[in-house]
Structure 1
């Protein structure tokens, strides 16, 4: 069962979104209100902008994922939207009950679903952040430094501390300190745990 809430200022729009959900026994409807815990919250807006982000902030809970139904345009920062839990968007002009249900299921699985017209902007945004913010600071999109990524990649390939030190031209103490810093930063137990986490999380 997927617990879903719908927020729309227009009652007719709200009824149109609730209808397909009520007709499907997989969904349990809940009220869309601050502090209400649901799996997916559907929010219908005319334009995605700063006011939309404020609304999501009011409705946000630790585990909720938002699916936005958008009338016409997107004028919000992609990073801010992601931080507020936005995981999908559907243009109203492209709305069908079947597509709507499919998007809700995808979001509940932890996936993202955005129109192709937004995906280009999202990728451009990621590129700009990498180029203008992260790279000048020696960081990657994961928040780890290039040096940390290189150490983890070699460790995952079976290199021991001495071999990593030789390969990267760092002292063994430096390599050990890198591992210690990663264990502390990621709250992990040991080097093996760090490498395993990095592989599972797609960091290397």
Structure 2
């Protein structure tokens, strides 16, 4: 009689560097996988990754990929699980955006000022707060993304609609001035410039890189057709933008 095969799941440890994909705990046939949504989970913190993996691996609708780099072209959905959106997370989101095989969802603890616009610019299709990320909500998020749909918490959807409305009003009357002329991040950085802070000090206070600070201020100066930071501060003060 042939001996019984060992069917214990592979428990080989995975590294915690970003990006790290969820470890699949089961084997499925190719025909079975065709009916399921293939998902890669990215997280710098292995504890965060494990929490999402434990929820999704119980669902027959989902096929978790074992390795993000090797299976990137197979993932229909990429989930990025983070505390907040910083430059490293934005870089990962941009990289995933260039992968036409996958659509990206974000599971995040907090979205600071300007972060919603930032993640949308990075190609994120749907957002779920980590506090609400139970098994049903995670599955809903995955299926919505796989079906080409978007998903946002109600309050973030309201902010997005308000922002789009402001952009439409500005485009109809480009000479009009309002608070929507500057994003929250731009206004905050210009306000710090007006207080005498240099690039390094602004970077420390905002938790952005110095390169990001320079890019944001350069974008304001270019968009408003101004000469330099001092001109931008004066313009913003005269028009009540900061």
Please give the TM-score of this superposition, normalised by the length of structure 2. 0.51
Cα displacement string for residues 35-67 of structure 1 (whole angstroms, at most 9, x for unaligned residues): 812111110111134443222112331232111
Structure-2 change in CA distance of 1:17 and 1:77 (3 Å): closer
Match of 1:128 in 2: 166
Structural mapping, 1:45-194, within 5 Å: 45-60=82-97, 61-76=99-114, 78=116, 80-133=118-171, 136=174
Q: What SS is found at the alignment partner of 2:72?
A: coil
Structure-2 change in CA distance of 1:52 and 1:129 (3 Å): farther
Structure-2 change in CA distance of 1:76 and 1:29 (3 Å): farther
Match of 2:51 in 1: 16
Cα displacement string for residues 2-41 of structure 1 (whole angstroms, at most 9, x for unaligned residues): 1100001111111111122221222121223398121111
More strand by share: 1
Contact 1:41 1:65 survives alignment (8 Å): yes
Cα displacement string for residues 133-186 of structure 1 (whole angstroms, at most 9, x for unaligned residues): 36649xxxxxxxxxxxxxxxxxxxxxxxxxxxxxxxxxxxxxxxxxxxxxxxxx
Q: For this pair of structures, how many residues does the alignment match? A: 137
Structure-2 change in CA distance of 1:119 and 1:49 (3 Å): farther
Rounded to whole Å, the distance in 2 between the matches of 1:65 and 1:74 is 23
Rounded to whole Å, the distance in 1 between the matches of 2:166 and 2:108 is 25
2:40 pairs with 1:5: yes
Q: What SS is found at the alignment partner of 1:6?
A: strand
2:32 pairs with 1:32: no
1:73 CA drift (Å)? 2.1
Structure-2 change in CA distance of 1:74 and 1:33 (3 Å): farther
RMSD: 2.4
Q: What SS is found at the alignment partner of 2:152?
A: coil
Rounded to whole Å, the distance in 2 between the matches of 1:86 and 1:134 is 27
Which blocks of at least 5 consecutive residues in structure 2 are unaligned?
1-35, 176-242
Residue range with higher mean Cα deviation, 46-55 or 124-133: 46-55
Contact 1:5 1:40 survives alignment (8 Å): yes
Contact 1:35 1:59 survives alignment (8 Å): no
